[in-house]
Amino acid sequence: MSVPERNMALELVRATESAAIAAGRWMGRGDKNGADGAAVNAMRYMLNTIHMDGVVVIGEGEKDEAPMLFNGEKLGTGDAPQVDIAVDPIDGTRLCAEGQPNAVSVVALAEKGTMYNPQHIFYMDKIATGPQAADAIDIEAPVEENIRRVAKACHKAVEDVTVVVLDRPRHEHLIRSIRNVRARIRLIRDGDVAGALMTCKAESGIDLLVGVGGSPEAVITACAIKCVGGNMQCKLWPRNEDEAALCREKGMDLNQVLTLQDLVSSDNVFFAATGVTDGEFLKGVQYQGDMIKTTSLVMRSKSGTLRYVEALHQLRKLEKISGIDYAPKS
């Protein structure tokens, strides 16, 4: 089996840029489906131009829910190499629709058969941190203990540790525990891919992400964290007894700690993200008449290289060569 040797992250970024440009036109319009549909169509078009034989392992939906990029969908030209693809055309669809910060478009890619498939489980319990505290976290330890370990690894007081948590009723007990040790909390409405990646960016001031979030986002995040040298651990989180029973029937261990290596076993992972709305992680799309500006991050785990890419796109030329509608929405 051929393996990807060229830096495919530099090709993936064209797909995230296209998705972000298309979705950004819908920012603040209150239409999640409109934004997501625009991002999906633009991303699919660009991914199909890449020389690869790709299959979506982590997608947004099933085939009968088009235009979603569905699990099992084939992308690329059909040429080597064979790869697994994880996509989220907009991580934070609601954030985009409401004009809130930190919506991003993301794609990850690795050799075929190396990404974890959560199957019917839509949620995972997660813990993630950046390189400085990579060896300190343990998802089976209480959150208070993890905060103390991260504080020690980062050479700071517990009170200075900042923890990202999705703002959900299911996290009320978690939030109380964090406040009990007097650590700082950054509650986010959506977008836990960006939330986890902020732990890997020193200037963000974020040290740790904890709590239950989407399974697809967990695998995508793992790909990114593997590129930057951080760490992530997860456990399957069935929503009800039916999902738990199906896990047992399929031999999926609900007590297993899924390590970074379990989530993506390849050592040659490619990741690209482009900001849709402004955030701590990336700047959002800026429309300047016929010019459009995007800010992206591209990474490859094999080399450990991170590149920030600022691009200026000419609207008329883009539409002429792509067939994608990037024009303002009436």
From the list 112, 83, 92, the residue with the least C-alpha distance to 23 is: 92
Cα dihedral 24, 25, 28, 29 in deg (nearest 10): -140
Distance CA 292, CA 284 (A): 11
Would you say the C-alpha torsion 29, 34, 38, 44 has a positive or negative sign?
positive
Q: Where are the alpha helices (DSSP H) in the chain?
A: 9-24, 32-47, 93-97, 143-153, 172-180, 192-198, 215-228, 241-249, 260-263, 315-322
Check if the beta carbon of residue 223 is closer than 8 Å to that of residue 264: yes
Query: Would the annotation count 169 as a binding residue?
Result: yes
Query: Would the annotation count 170 as a binding residue?
Result: yes
Query: Would the annotation count 280 as a binding residue?
Result: no
Query: Would the annotation count 190 as a binding residue?
Result: yes
Query: Would the annotation count 192 as a binding residue?
Result: yes
Distance CA 56, CA 195 (A): 23
122: exposed, middle or buried (Cβ count in 10 Å: 0-12, 13-18, 19+):
middle
Query: Would the annotation count 73 as a binding residue?
Result: no
Distance CA 295, CA 58 (A): 24
Query: Would the annotation count 284 as a binding residue?
Result: no
Would you say the C-alpha torsion 53, 76, 191, 270 has a positive or negative sign?
positive
- Do the strands 208-214 and 74-75 form a parallel or antiparallel pair, or are they unpaired? unpaired
From the list 108, 71, 104, 58, the residue with the least C-alpha distance to 228 is: 108
Query: Would the annotation count 92 as a binding residue?
Result: yes
Q: What tokens does 265 get?
A: 């076993």
DSSP helix/strand/coil, 128: strand
Query: Would the annotation count 326 as a binding residue?
Result: no
Query: Would the annotation count 278 as a binding residue?
Result: no
Query: Would the annotation count 93 as a binding residue?
Result: yes
Query: Would the annotation count 78 as a binding residue?
Result: no
Residue stretches of the annotated binding site for substrate: 91-93, 123, 168-170, 190-192, 214
Residue stretches of the annotated binding site: 36, 60, 88, 91-93, 123, 168-170, 190-192, 214, 217
Residue stretches of the annotated binding site for Mn(2+): 36, 60, 88, 91, 217
